[in-house]
Structure 1
Amino acid sequence: MAAFLIVFLTSLLTLITLPAAESRLYSNYYQKSCPRFNQIVQDTVTNKQITSPTTAAATLRLFFHDCLHNGCDASILVSSTPFNKAERDADINLSLPGDAFDVVVRAKTALELACPNTVSCADILAVATRDLVTMMGGPYYNVPLGRRDGRVSKASAVEGTLPRPAMPVSQLIQVFGSRGFSVQEMVALSGAHTIGFSHCSEFSSAIYNYSKSEQFDPQYNPRFAAGLQQACADYHKNPTMSVFNDVMTPNKFDNVYFQNLPKGLGLLKSDHALFNDPRTRPFVELYAKDQNTFFQAFARAMEKLGVHGIQTGRRGEIRHRCDEFN
């Protein structure tokens, strides 16, 4: 009876402690199994950013679309098959730039040569994003490691889970709030628009024939609106035509995005809404005034986003290729 009790208690203890152990992430997770992990990722993203300057913004956006949907599990990297339409082919993800996918694939290829079947695509995407943000002048933040790659990727599950350019603030708050992010954290993460660009089609309705009496949305600075009309004149013929989100310092991660909003220099409807809504305006003004405060808030929010919905241990896998399940 005593022996049975010992076995029972040991088994119970294992069941209690296993999920907690599996769910832990560590900053030095690959210290022994892949000691050159950080250097390989750093070298890869540096080379890619130099040859293709849109990589940083593209990767940051890819990270958001992966993590905010159903957790940081690299499910957005999986390609569709005749039997499954994957996340990356959901309509909201079709405009994701190829540079972001490419930089992860390059890092994965190098890491598979150095330490096969060891590093997850989810960890690569998380660290690559942080390194690129830092390269652009943004804040450094901690990225604990040990994520596993997800085994499910379905386009049909994406609808309604990601913010869209024309969403009103109430819906944006709902999208972020449903994933545990406060209004302030949402505004801080929106500061990612300090780099990158948006396609003309995402805001064309606000700058052409806005209403019977106005050619463009009056929330735009008139000179800015005129410039956008000229820049996007041929967007019907060229759907990929785009404009920088921050026209003042487009290649620098700073707080100028927030400084632009009170001046009518926001690009998207959601950008203008952040300044005009009383729930979000105080944080826009705070971050516009103090870049350090914005950087600290952005770093904390990114650390939180980076562990959202992660899979660890036996709940996920280490993909051999980032674009397909094992």
Structure 2
Amino acid sequence: MDLSAFPRVALGSWPTPLDDAPRLTAALGGAPVLLKRDDVNGLGAGGNKLRKLEFLLGRALEDGADTIITFGALQTNHGRQTAAACAKLGLRCELVLTARVPMSGDSYEHSGNIVLDHMFGANVHVCADADETAAVYEKVNHAKAATLPIGGSNGLGTLGYVAAAAELLGQLGERGIDNATLVVPDGSGATAAGIALGTELLGWPGEVRAVSVSHTAADALQTLEILTTDAAGLLGEPAPRLAHVTVTDDTVGPGYGVPTPEMWDVLKLFAETEGVLLDPVYTGKAAVKLREIAATSEVPVVFLHTGGLPGFYGYAPEAVARFGSA
């Protein structure tokens, strides 16, 4: 897979580590678990969006953009990492955020990612509904602005995780692991899509388990198919078959960003066995599925840690109630 034809800016520290998790493995009592640490890739408190932004902002700069506009919920990790990348590259950043999420309260609305958005110099616009979002976008958009989709998830952004798939399979090969199950959080879709497409193009014999944290499995699969097809087209490849990919939605709980007891349990499990922190929105809910998969798997299981820790502080009252005392 030659990605050199696509404009790209350097934002992350690659390759990210692939770590053994022996105490977590022992606690789960099943297959060996490894952690792909895309949460520790440097810029803007780390996270999976940086791989997408390398391609998205590379294209924007080549097109002469001086402003980046993107969207998300109040605690968007994509918004925070976009703001940090824009700060590094000297670009104006306009974050058009929606307050229409199933979470509220002072911590959720005024801490975590949204504080970092301001620290990175972004102009943050909090909108009450779709009409206000459209009006704000119309106001901030101009001829030299580039607009990025929610989560950086389009065909071009997906290439970031096509590259990551090659990186990960190389690391597994160095360990002599030629078959495994890859567990990937699935939100806006491009992370799981890139892993799915990259592993198929490279002939990987293992399985990809995309764990939806927001949509039904059917909707998430449809998005996955669109993104992989678009990215394959950019590479001059046919639409992938995705026969090795399974999408699930049974750990979403009441809704996107809404904590579940199982999610809090698995956050504690990762913390007390490996000293690794997950977030309540993406990695926490995906790790609930990892716990189930690893307990019965006959091959090693790799968990893609996509970051999101700053968003944890938006859930401070719930975390304090759960873990703040003995």
TM beyond 0.5 = no
* TM-score, with length taken from structure 1: 0.24
- Higher RCO structure, 1 or 2 (CA under 8 Å, sep 6+): 1
Larger Cα-atom Rg = 1
Larger proportion of helix: 1
Larger proportion of strand: 2
